[in-house]
Amino acid sequence: MSDFYQLSEEHMAVREAVRDLCDAKIAPFAAEVDAEARYPHEAAAALLASDFHAPHVPEEYDGVGADALATCIVIEEVTRVCASSSLIPAVNKLGSLPLILGGSDDLKRRYLPALASGAAGFAYGLSERDAGSDTAAMKTRAKADGDDFVLTGQKSWITNAGFSEYYTVLAVTDPEAGRGKGVSAFIVEKSDEGFTFGEKERKLGIKGSPTRELLFDNVRIPGDRMIGEPGTGLALALRTLDHTRVTIGAQAVGIAQGALDFALGYVKERQQFGKRIADFQGIQFMLADMAMTLEAARQMVYVAAAKSERNDKDL
């Protein structure tokens, strides 16, 4: 395989389409979204109208079936103009991927078509206040009660909490099973009784994407909303992160591209000593270094996305 990842014509067409959409319908509202720390409704509507809100949903569940690389390109291009808006497709994938990877066909048919149509969004509930990166130490519990489970506890730093209708939530179902072995995954619906949200976090950036706690006060979940088998939740969560961390890389590339684009425009306008600073060789060196580093990062993201799509062992 070449060290340089060459996009197919289909992937280049995706980039062109989403870039045009972003420039016309997302970029004009980005500053306002950030200044007001409000949800990017305009971006959400534009992405939905173009089927870019959750492009990863397979065709058999009424989605467009975009592969991992195409999804990264969508996220990269949206992030280039508005990082907050990019979390719409990114978190829809993060939240629903456990279902795609480990759910039954029946469960997929119950929830994925609504995501594909835009009737509902997905979010992901894994981290807790005392178990951020230590996922095996989670305290949220799901206690069996007949055919149901009763969920108690909380999840922290949940992106798009309150706007999404569905939440993939990891909880301990067997505390005696050993560290991380008794964790199961469930789908929680926004309307479930006892399920509420904390106050919106005040953030330094990406302020248009709401971040809140998920609060579970004896939330009764039907047993058929468990994703996969009991006790397989942590393994499923880690598989999900294997396939979705690359989308965070795509966001970083998009932010860097947006910064470089802005810098290029600025140096062509700024005058010093009677000429544009773009004409100074020192500035040109800096911009060339930025572009080179950015392209290297992009190549790494694209190769990782291709590995994700193929389920390579070294992913």
DSSP secondary structure letters along the chain: --SS-PPPHHHHHHHHHHHHHIIIIIHHHHHHHHHHT---HHHHHHHHHTT-SSTTS-GGGTS----HHHHHHHHHHHHHH-HHHHHHHHHHHHHHHHHHHH--HHHHHHHHHHHHHTS--EEEE--BTTBSS-GGG---EEEEETTEEEEEEEEEEEETTTT-SEEEEEEES-GGG-TTTTEEEEEEETTSTTEEE-PPPP-SS-TTS-EEEEEEEEEEEEGGGEESSTT-HHHHHHHHHHHHHHHHHHHHHHHHHHHHHHHHHHHHH-EETTEEGGGSHHHHHHHHHHHHHHHHHHHHHHHHHHHHHHT-TT-
Tell me the C-alpha distance between 266 and 254, whole Å. 18
pLDDT at 1: 42
Q: Are 313 and 276 in contact (CB under 8 A)?
A: no
- What's the whole-model pTM score? 0.93
CA angle 98, 177, 153 (to 5 degrees): 60
pLDDT at 132: 65
Q: Are 55 and 74 in contact (CB under 8 A)?
A: yes
Q: Are 25 and 46 in contact (CB under 8 A)?
A: yes
**Two structure tokens written together for 159:** 């992106």
Tell me the C-alpha distance between 219 and 311, whole Å. 35
Q: Of the candidates 225, 17, 273, which has an alpha carbon nearest to the alpha carbon of residue 108?
A: 225
Tell me the C-alpha distance between 165 and 113, whole Å. 13
pLDDT at 135: 65
Tell me the C-alpha distance between 162 and 39, whole Å. 11
The pLDDT tens digits along the chain (315 residues) read: 445 568 999 999 999 999 999 999 999 999 999 999 999 999 999 999 999 999 999 999 999 999 999 999 999 999 999 999 999 999 999 999 999 999 999 999 999 999 999 999 999 999 998 876 676 688 999 999 999 999 999 999 999 999 999 999 999 999 988 777 899 999 999 999 999 999 999 999 999 999 999 999 999 999 999 999 999 999 999 999 999 999 999 999 999 999 999 999 999 999 999 999 999 999 999 999 999 999 999 999 999 999 999 988 876
